[in-house]
Amino acid sequence: MAIDRRKLRWNGWGWIDAPDVLGDKADGVWRWMGEVVGIAPLPDTPAMGLENITLPPQRLNDAVLESLTALTAPERVKTDDFERALHARGRSYHDLLHLRAGRLETAPDAVVYPTTTEETAALVAFAADANVALIPFGGGSSVVGGVTAQAAQGQAGAVSVDMTLMDRLLDIDEEALVARAEAGVYGPQLEEALQARGYTLGHYPQSFEFSTLGGWIAPRSAGHQSNKYGKAEHWLVSAKVATPQGVWTTEDYPGSAAGPLLREMLAGSEGMLGIITEAEFKIHPVPEAKDYRGYVFTEFPAGVAAAREMMQQGVQTAMIRLSDKPETFFLNAIDTGDAQGTGPAQFCLMLIGIEGDRATVDTALERSQAIVKANGGIHMGESLGRSWYKGRFETPYLRDPMLDHGLGIDTLETATRWSNMLRLHEAGVKAIAEAIDAHSPGERGIVMAHVSHAYADGASLYFLIAFPRDLDNDVEQWWAIKRAASDAIAANGGTISHHHGVGTDHLPWIAGEKGPIGMGLLRAMKAQIDPTGVLNPGKLIE
Amino acid sequence: MAIDRRKLRWNGWGWIDAPDVLGDKADGVWRWMGEVVGIAPLPDTPAMGLENITLPPQRLNDAVLESLTALTAPERVKTDDFERALHARGRSYHDLLHLRAGRLETAPDAVVYPTTTEETAALVAFAADANVALIPFGGGSSVVGGVTAQAAQGQAGAVSVDMTLMDRLLDIDEEALVARAEAGVYGPQLEEALQARGYTLGHYPQSFEFSTLGGWIAPRSAGHQSNKYGKAEHWLVSAKVATPQGVWTTEDYPGSAAGPLLREMLAGSEGMLGIITEAEFKIHPVPEAKDYRGYVFTEFPAGVAAAREMMQQGVQTAMIRLSDKPETFFLNAIDTGDAQGTGPAQFCLMLIGIEGDRATVDTALERSQAIVKANGGIHMGESLGRSWYKGRFETPYLRDPMLDHGLGIDTLETATRWSNMLRLHEAGVKAIAEAIDAHSPGERGIVMAHVSHAYADGASLYFLIAFPRDLDNDVEQWWAIKRAASDAIAANGGTISHHHGVGTDHLPWIAGEKGPIGMGLLRAMKAQIDPTGVLNPGKLIE
């Protein structure tokens, strides 16, 4: 495994000894943020230390633990507090509220680290027999409850199956530009191995440093540059999956009409159909050139129109990201550390990233700039692009210090057609702002959004919200806001998730989105592959 | 309905009064082809007239027929010989052998023409109750037995559900570039309606004139220009489907992580999950420019390398089609009508089609030509491209006259990765040639192939074969050749179909391709939606 887990925060983001992401801007930012939310000074709300927390008792009997050991190896079955706490939940705001308060009811009874597909399949077969819940675990960065280590009623216990020892790049087909790797490989390690050979997968989600190949596939993850490299469901070529029925190897053809492609059911299956142990995926030559630039529009709809035209005219961008006025203001405030007032900005920032060979980049740059200009946008040069690129994995590091200062922060994402984008943006912002007002102790929260991950027919819309925590009722407060936002998304033509997945947190909306026949199909597939329901119970379809 | 069915050949391709596709070249072509296959002169083997054929007795009782009428309208329930014969089978070589010989065992007992989604859903609900097989029917151009009107054992009879009265373009979302239409609309009618508004779907399969929107989706069809416009599974945005569980409306988001997208199970479902009544699909502005050109390569591998590089470097082509030397020779021979000898040609023809706005076409033309040149290809100008484009729907018209002259003709298509393309091409050609030799009365057949429908990781490979028919055992002869070819495809890393589907003819290979877990998932979905198995029985999963 590339990462020493003991050096990670079990209840937060990243390395224990990571420096404060705000650096010497911190005091200014907290002062300003306190003013914005109406609480000055912000309170001091530290997390509980693991040494002060009592974990729930271990439920697995010795026979089960011995079997897990026999199927793997003694040093790869963990039952200590740190491992159980680290695998208790993912990394959503909601998860962090529980973890920081020492509520570890969902700590798994054990954590097992398989090293081969066959070993994983044997674990799954055993669990199906012994009625033990298995929770596939990669980097554990789910923000929708996808790795919460819960067992269903009547099950003997819950075991996290940590895949991160399966981390090898296995093969590169240089003619087909398809690579094969074990599913537990972390982003940086995978890219390092690929780039040493001159290739890239190009999948850089915000969680890149602490998420894995299998963890990207399971919830249909998207990297920042998905316009070029695709979401997980686009770059996935085939997979091996450990299921109660044995090892499932999906189709691996470039195109096929041999019935529905079942591999399409894997991306988004969130562990309910099996544990992904290996995957083949499309790769690209390491881009010869990268060009990231900023542009501004005085109005959000003009930026949306420009993004739409670029996608529909086939301009080969890697990323288009359009912030609304509040987000433009907020990101600038964090960046400078000396913000005044509450915004919003007078304009909307658009970042356009282009990657590829020199000729493709030049063509796309010229065409994108013509479209920006035609829609009234103004070119701001490369510094904004460079600055975003440099800090593109930093935002998650902001969450722990916000939680330490009595603040809440969450993200919600959806996708819709271009023709519905402005309506959904407006409805989402309104619903979230009203819910924060109704459920927060401070004067107001911050609600901002950006359009990204664009397609010819529509794009993702991503809300980022910050608000003063109701310290005595923080989980209820979050649920009230989340519910209002999700109801507004569902009622206004958005999908409940574009790239985070369903997990536990989006369960209340999935049936409405899929409809009874769609849910019937999902349940039928689940019952066929996992009739006793040991695979990641309580996620996706309950 | 745009087409007067009575003017169509019930046992062949297209209009009854269509002129001979070979025109005044006919005599020369038949003389030459007789020499090639070693039978001169070719025999005269006409098809039986419908007036000389006795159809199987009608199996549905009056109560069922009355119910069908009550659910639709008297004039939309047909039981006459012509309608039954027209709907007995699709249009594969295998189908034509049966139809031309007057074997109409699979004539449906009735043909019903619904006009709304609700009516179709009512028909499906009734059929599930009454245990009547329903066979969804669009243009009826399946070449894999996908519309053969067979009932399963114990079922009361078979009813073809002809969708061609549902042929309206319903809506165009000009901002999202998504259109919605009824599933029974024929290609020409759909494109006419779209192009009147300035848009195109761009889906032009060889069957374009006589196939429908729903018929393209059901088997994952590909149009000639799929590099730009995508296969059906790529342009499909959402669908309404009449199922025994009610009307299923699939997801319609541009991107979603709300679990697996069930709409992915519709493309390729071949009627087994329901009858598609409406679909939303991606559209494009009518291209400002089209550029089709010919290039030649002295060796097939050099052409394959050029096609691969164009796809992997993101050159925005609409079509790349590389014929091997035998196909280059054969197509030229048919085209000129004065061929000598048996070929092959000394070179391989590549056609590259580019469509889009002027700037995109210019860029793609420049980039494609640079890649062709770097791989040793020679530019032959636009005339070859124009000639192909003009005759691109003509090949199917060649089949009836070949059958009239004692010849057999069939196509087989697959797809594989670039790294496996040459191996699969060689193995396929060898297996087919050997099977023709072993099972044909003449000296030899013609086996040729082209690469088309390209992706970054691979492409489709399409075999076209012609051979002297074993007139007394033509079905057995075909099966022997088909089996040998399909076994070779499966054994050499190809999918059993890239865009024709499974139907009945590819059933023997589907389980090997999907594996037991994949087949289990397909069967579970089928059982969930259609527990009594009335929807297109005997197709895809038996």
What distance in Å separates residue B43's CA from the closest CA in chain A?
36
Q: What are the tens digits of pLDDT across the range A381-415?
A: 999 999 999 999 988 899 999 999 999 999 999 99
Hey, what are B160's tokens?
Answer: 């073809």
Nearest to A363 among B308, B363, B455 (CB): B363
Q: Which residues of A touch B458 (CB under 8 A)?
A: 176, 253-255
What does the DSSP assignment read for B276-321? EEEEEEE-EEPPSEEEEEEEEESSHHHHHHHHHHHHHTT---SEEE
Q: Contact B417/A178, CB-based, under 8 Å?
A: yes
User: What is the residue type of B425?
Assistant: H
Chain B residue with CA closest to A146: the answer is B259
- B256 vs A176: CB contact, 8 Å cut-off? no
Whether chain A has a CB inside 8 Å of the CB on B358: the answer is no
The distance of B248 to chain A (nearest Cα, Å) reads 6
- d(Cα A49, Cα A82) in Å, to the nearest integer? 11
Helix, strand, coil abundance in chain A, percent, nearest 5: 40, 20, 40
pLDDT exceeds cutoff 70 at B438: yes
C-beta separation of B443 from B38 below 8 A:
yes
- Of the partner residues A268, A316, A419, the one whose CB lies closest to the CB of residue B260: A268
Which residue, among A171, A173, A175, A282, would best test binding to B if mutated, counting the most B CBs under 10 Å from its CB? A175
CB B391 within 8 A of CB B16: no
In the CATH scheme, what is the code of domain A289-491?
3.40.462.40
Give, in degrees to the nearest 5, the angle at Cα A26 between A22 and A30: 120
Q: Which residues in B109-250 belong to E strands, given as ranges? A: 110-112, 133-137, 158-162, 169-173, 178-182, 199-200, 236-243, 246-249
A/B interface, count of CB pairs below 8 Å: 271
Tokens of B447: 């086996």
pLDDT (average), residues B107-125 = 98
Q: Is A282 on the interface with B (CB under 8 A)?
A: yes
Q: Do B525 and A525 lie within an 8 Å CB cutoff?
A: yes
Per residue in A216-267, pLDDT tens? 999 999 999 999 999 999 999 999 999 999 999 999 999 999 999 999 999 9
Residues 14-73 (A) with a CB less than 8 A from some CB of B: none
The two three-digit tokens of residue B72, written as one number: 């639709």
CA A77 – CA A162 distance, rounded (Å):
10
List CB contacts (< 8 A) between A175 and chain B. Answer: 308, 417-419
pLDDT digits (tens, 9 = 90+) for A174-217: 999 999 999 999 999 999 999 999 999 999 999 999 999 999 99
Q: How confident is the model at residue B108 (pLDDT cuts 50, 70, 90)?
A: very high
Residue of A340, A423, A432, A352 lying closest to A388 (CA atoms): A352
Residue B1 has pLDDT above 70, yes or no: no
Q: Check B457 against A254: CB less than 8 A apart.
A: yes
Q: Determine the distance in angstroms separating the CA of A91 from the nearest CA of chain B, rounded to an integer.
A: 18
**pLDDT bracket for residue B442 (50, 70, 90):** low
Residues of A in contact with B249 (CB under 8 A): 515
Query: CB distance from B528 to chain A under 8 Å?
Result: yes
Is residue B149 a contact partner of residue B160, using CB atoms and an 8 Å limit?
A: yes
Confidence of residue B260 (pLDDT cuts 50, 70, 90): very high
Contact A257 B246 (CB under 8 A): no
Check CB contact under 8 Å for A260 and B266.
yes
Nearest CB neighbour to A418, from listed B175, B220, B249: B175
Q: What is the ipTM of this complex?
A: 0.96
pLDDT at B331: 86
What pLDDT is attached to residue A531? 97
**CA atoms within 13 A of residue A468's CA, in its CB half-sphere:** 21
Tell me if A104 sits within 8 A of A56, measured CB to CB. Answer: yes
**Under CATH, to which class is A5-13+23-162 assigned?**
alpha beta
Fold of A169-285: 3.30.465
Question: What's the pLDDT tens digit per position in B492-526?
Answer: 999 999 999 999 999 999 999 999 999 999 999 99
Contact A522 B260 (CB under 8 A): yes
Across the interface, which of B246, B268, B417 has its CB nearest the CB of A259?
B268
Q: Which residue has the tokens 């089960």?
A: A64
Q: Is A250's Cβ below 8 Å from some Cβ in B? A: yes
Helical axes A474-491 vs A93-100, angle rounded to 10°: 170
Any CB–CB contact under 8 A between B514 and chain A? yes
- The three-class DSSP label of residue A401 is helix
Q: Does B520 touch chain A (CB under 8 A)?
A: yes
The rounded distance, in Å, linking the Cα atoms of B269 and B287 is 31
B513 with B495: CB under 8 angstroms?
A: yes
In degrees, rounded to 5, the angle at the alpha carbon of residue A226 between the alpha carbons of residues B459 and A485 is 130
The answer to whether residue B483 neighbours chain A at the CB level (below 8 Å) is no
| Residue B525 φ/ψ, nearest 5 degrees | -65, -45
Sequence-separated (6 or more) residues with CB below 8 Å from residue A34: A40, A41, A42, A405
Strand order in the sheet with B158-162: B77-78, B110-112, B158-162, B133-137
Please name the residues in contact with B232: beta carbons below 8 A apart, sequence gap of 6 or more: B203, B216, B217, B219, B220, B221, B222, B267
Torsion region of B235: left, alpha or beta (phi above 0 gives left; psi -120 to 50 gives alpha) = alpha
Indicate if A169-285 has the same CATH topology as A5-13+23-162: no
Radius of gyration of chain A (CA): 23
Q: How far is B254 from chain A (nearest CA, A)?
A: 5
Are the C-beta atoms of A150 and A503 separated by less than 8 Å?
Answer: no
* pLDDT exceeds 90 at position A313: yes
Domain definitions of chain B by residue range = 169-285, 289-491
pLDDT at residue A442 greater than cutoff 70:
no
pLDDT in tens, A81-93: 999 999 999 999 9
pLDDT tens-digit series, residues B477-497: 999 999 999 999 999 999 999
Q: Residue A219: its chain B contacts at CB < 8 A?
A: 257
Tokens of B199: 């848009």
Q: What is the largest CA-CA distance in chain B?
A: 70
Average pLDDT over residues B337-365: 91
Position B452 confidence tier, pLDDT thresholds 50, 70, 90: very high
Amino acid identity for residue A279 in this structure? A
pLDDT tens digit string along B29-74?
Answer: 999 999 888 888 999 999 999 999 999 999 999 999 999 999 999 9
Cα–Cα distance, A13 to A140 (Å, whole number): 10
Partner-chain residue, chosen from A257, A262, A522, that has the shortest CB–CB distance to B498:
A257
Over residues A148-152, mean pLDDT: 97
SS3 category, A188: helix
Count CB neighbours of A110 within 10 A.
Answer: 26
Nearest CA in chain B to A236: B457
Rounded mean pLDDT, B408-421: 97
Contact A257 B221 (CB under 8 A): yes
Residues of B in contact with A459 (CB under 8 A): 254-255
Selected residue of A180, A200, A262, A309 to mutate for chain B interface (largest B Cβ count, 10 A): A262
Say what the pLDDT of residue B281 is.
Answer: 98
A173 interfacial to chain B (CB closer than 8 Å): yes
Q: So what's the pLDDT on residue A495?
A: 98
What pLDDT, on the 0 to 100 scale, is given for residue A441? 75
pLDDT of residue B441: 75
Q: What is the mean pLDDT of chain B?
A: 96
